[in-house]
């Protein structure tokens, strides 16, 4: 079995299930372990370039309006790999290469591989994709202990919240800052498992532009800023787009020093394991008296006010 993964989440799950020996081609955005040893088949015209949030939004919007993709396949490399199966996606043509673009490249191959689109909408769908991936690789049995261990981690959070009768926090998770996007798909389910409720979110649906005035009226107790594709450091470069707003200082989350920055792959990179990492981190943000950031994940999130205190010191 020779496989290619055209989305980082599938690559992560293949590694999580110890099936990476079957993986030969990946994308330029895949996890570091894969980038160090696998061939990069999928590339992007924006690769290596630095744009602001506003510029990125305009570029992708223009590309979508023109019916063009910013991603492309190294067809010669794909031909040399000769995959039996390729994992792709149709959740978001902005974030990753989609099935249509993949199919166009695959049509030119001498050997036609099986295309396996992964299109999760909610958190359970993401877990089910692990079974889909393992089955397509002929190793379905690898998915079940992997998923059972992840469910056990979620159960610990649920049991702790229940034991302490912890009321859900009123929160907002932002997927983009200019323009502001709410969170959608599986992220509202992550929020719920972590002991929060995001009434501005769109469960099992696309994230959408959300007016600042609506956020001010909603007035979240906890604000989590995790723009798609951005690390903590990259988000900090754009944070002034929010903090300069006149109503910023009046938000309850700001007044209570409950504003957090987090890496995108805890939320908008839907591998089952990284999303459970995200749930555990959210729990530590919503209920810091009950949960701590898991060891080894401290670099993937921070409190805005810890950063500010460090700078002031």
pLDDT band for 86, please (50, 70, 90 cuts).
very high
The length of the chain, given as a count of residues: 313
CA distance 175 to 226: 6
Mean pLDDT of 247-269: 95
- What pLDDT shows up at residue 136? 97
Mean pLDDT of 85-89: 89
Element containing residue 51 per DSSP (H, E): none
In the chain, what is the straight-line distance between the N-terminal and C-terminal CA atoms, in Å?
56
Q: Nearest CA to 74 among 24, 13, 25, 144? A: 25
CA distance 189 to 118: 18
- What pLDDT shows up at residue 29? 84
Share of the chain above pLDDT 70, in %: 88
């Amino acid at each position: 079995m020779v496989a290619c993964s055209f989305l980082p989440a599938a690559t992560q799950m293949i590694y999580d299930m110890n099936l990476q020996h079957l993986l030969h081609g990946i994308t330029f955005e895949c996890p570091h372990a894969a980038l160090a040893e696998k061939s990069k088949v999928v590339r992007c015209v924006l690769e290596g370039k630095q744009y602001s949030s506003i510029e990125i939004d305009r570029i992708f919007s223009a590309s979508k309006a023109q019916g063009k993709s910013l991603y492309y396949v190294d067809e010669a490399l794909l031909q040399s790999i000769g995959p039996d199966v390729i994992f792709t996606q149709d959740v978001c043509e902005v974030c990753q290469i989609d099935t249509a673009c993949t199919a166009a490249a695959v049509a030119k191959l001498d050997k036609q591989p099986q295309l396996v689109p992964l299109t999760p909408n909610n958190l359970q769908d993401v877990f089910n994709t692990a079974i889909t991936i393992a089955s397509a690789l002929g190793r379905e049995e690898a998915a079940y202990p992997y998923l059972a261990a992840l469910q056990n981690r979620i159960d610990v959070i649920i049991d702790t919240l229940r034991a302490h009768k912890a009321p859900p926090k009123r929160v907002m998770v932002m997927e983009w800052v200019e323009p502001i996007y709410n969170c959608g798909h599986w992220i509202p389910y992550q929020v719920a498992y972590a002991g929060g409720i995001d009434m501005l979110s769109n469960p099992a649906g696309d994230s959408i532009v959300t007016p600042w005035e609506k956020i001010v009226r909603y007035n979240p107790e906890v604000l989590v800023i995790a723009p798609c594709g951005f690390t903590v450091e990259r988000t900090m470069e754009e944070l002034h787009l929010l903090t300069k707003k006149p109503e910023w200082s009046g938000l309850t989350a700001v007044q209570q020093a409950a504003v957090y920055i987090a890496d995108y792959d805890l939320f908008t990179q839907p591998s089952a394991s990284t999303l459970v990492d995200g749930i555990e981190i959210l729990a530590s943000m919503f209920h810091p008296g009950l949960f701590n950031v898991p060891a080894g994940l401290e670099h993937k999130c921070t409190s805005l006010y810890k950063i500010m205190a460090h700078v002031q010191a």
